[in-house]
Structure 1
């Protein structure tokens, strides 16, 4: 049995045999310890290449050997995994903003509340390392103090745009008995809305504190859903559903998704920030998230 599988997923509708042959040449030249044992086209835009190593070879070492090829490939995502029975996951956990949906909800709320400039300033400070996630969330939520909660929710929910391929992906995974969850650093009413739209099994996000007359206090309540919380919750879900952690997958685009990727069986950076793509176990930058099925070992 082949020890590793490399999946090529093209950003275009078709992955040609010539392109695969060129990638295979680069693949074998990148690692003198591995030889291609089998090639299998699994859809018009994806192929699996099975590798055997001549001796013991850790996945991390092979990943390092292939890093240059993975980073230099602009029109094909290259995903390396062990070829074992843990490839088809039993639990898939998603981030929400810029993953299950195209938008960032906090920016939509800022627009609704006419505080876009102030939120952008906080975002810039966070990106410059002046604020951590907890502090940036606290400052952003404080800007919302006094807003009526129900009109806010009702104005934004219909505008949430689900990422292309996500509904089909979720339906397919559900048919295979996979548990699905969304863990968001955003806010629970929107996470629950997306959960209901996609028929997910679980949702967790931050909760906004509300006064008796339905206005925001400018604070959150309960556990902060940051990267560490996402990692803990993923493991809790594994225990809840009697699923081994190696049979779980985390999909997200931000740095606060990396801790959950680290404890899951595998991780996928979906159209992520450059640093996240570099640190995540794999990356996917295609037009439709239905291509995640190829990473999980399913053929179209």
Structure 2
């Protein structure tokens, strides 16, 4: 048995539900009814059939509606692993740091290509960080205070999941000097990220090994799953770029948030229109169950 959750960025109409039901039926699904999670905002459509075909069919829904089609069992997850930059926060921290050094256009162009999977992540990281050599390390605190903005719905998502006994991990190819602060601000249980090398209060232009890359993110997801004695179906992972592909593909529900093409191609769901609270509706949590961030 499966559930297709429709989440509107603005307002969900009866016509939207009817269209989704028709699309599912045309894909061979047997529609078993629908039920509102939140009136005019989010609805569950229960169906049987082929999940892959259902997801493909629902891609024809109109602008402003996100959807998550998944098995009904274990829809409320027990482990949440999330990327940070351009996912839990709205910026790429390395790009913003580079702005203080006057290198943002060059660094941002490399970041974009790396997130699209066009460059080796570690090589691209080293190339960008090298441009920050000899910067005062205190600039990181200033950058965080002036530039880092938590993504809409992120704190509510994490705090609500924690209130329902979910273990939450922030895992980033960015830096601990940002990730540790963001994890506390949003409410994550754990943060994993890279460490910038600092000597005499200045950035050396190097990243301390080992590097947190795609394989690390996947490993963190696997290790936490095993430590908590969970099944894969009980896990949720979200990211935006190619560096998140392995963990998103491995999770029970892998989500691309405003994702780059390579990640969108493998993700089980995409959040393109609404904020991160869409993932609460996807797990069956109505607004009355939320812990507002």
Q: What is the TM-score of this pair, normalised by structure 1?
A: 0.89
Write the distance in 1 (CA, Å) between the matches of 2:63 and 2:174: 31
Provide the rounded CA distance (Å) in 2 between the counterparts of 1:130 and 1:66.
Answer: 27
Q: Is 2:20 the partner of 1:23? A: yes
Correspondent of 1:67 among 52, 56, 62: 56
Quick one: distance in 2 between partners of 1:223 and 1:296?
35
Q: CA deviation at 1:239?
A: 2.6
Q: Per-residue deviation at 1:183?
A: 0.6
Larger radius of gyration: 1
TM-score under structure 2 length normalisation? 0.91
CA deviation string 1:171-205 (max 9, x = no partner): 21111111111111111110000011122111011
Is 1:262 the counterpart of 2:249 in the alignment? yes
Count of aligned pairs: 285
What SS does structure 1 have at the residue aligned with 2:85? coil
**8 Å Cα contact 2:68-2:270 kept in structure 1:** yes
CA distance in 1, matches of 2:242, 2:59: 20
Q: Once the 2 structures are TM-superposed, how far is the Cα of residue 72 of structure 1 from its aligned partner?
A: 5.2
Q: Given the superposition, is the C-alpha separation of residues 125 and 217 from structure 1 closer, same or farther in structure 2, using an over 3 Å criterion? A: same
State how far apart, in whole Å, the 2-side matches of 1:67 and 1:49 are. Answer: 15
Partner residue of 2:277? Answer: 290
Following superposition, the deviation at residue 107 of structure 1 comes to 0.9
Q: How does 1:110-121 map to 2 (within 5 A)?
A: 110-121=98-109
In the alignment, structure 1 residue 192 sits paired with structure 2 residue 189: no
Aligned to 1:38: 33
Structure 1 range deviating more: 235-244 or 103-112: 235-244
In structure 1, list runs of 5 or more residues that go unmatched.
none
Structural mapping, 1:85-164, within 5 Å: 86-123=74-111, 126=114, 131-149=119-137, 151-159=138-146, 160-164=148-152
SS class of match (2:268):
coil
| 8 Å contact kept, 2:217–2:247 | yes
| Residue 6, structure 1, aligned to residue 4, structure 2 | yes
CA RMSD between the two structures: 1.9
Q: Secondary structure at the match of 2:254?
A: strand
Q: Could you give the per-residue CA deviations for residues 62-96 of structure 1, whole angstroms, max 9, x where no partner exists?
A: 31454143155432122211111x21111111110
SS in 2 for 1:98: helix
Q: Which residue of 2 aligns with 1:242?
A: 229
Contact 2:97-2:140 at 8 Å conserved across structures: no
Unaligned 5+ segments in structure 2 are 288-293
Take 1:244 and 1:223, find their aligned partners in 2: how far apart are those partners? 28
Q: How big is the shift at 1:245?
A: 2.9
Closer/same/farther in 2, CA of residues 121 and 254 from structure 1, 3 Å limit: closer
CA distance in 2, matches of 1:251, 1:126: 17
Native 8 Å contact 1:30 1:66 kept in 2: no
The superposition leaves residues 125-171 of structure 1 with CA deviations (integer Å, 9 ceiling, x where unpaired) of 6478663111100100111111121x212211213100111122222
**CA 1:293 to 1:110, structure 2 compared with 1: closer, same or farther past 3 Å?**
same
Supply the distance in 2 between the matched residues of 1:74 and 1:243 (Cα, whole angstroms): 36
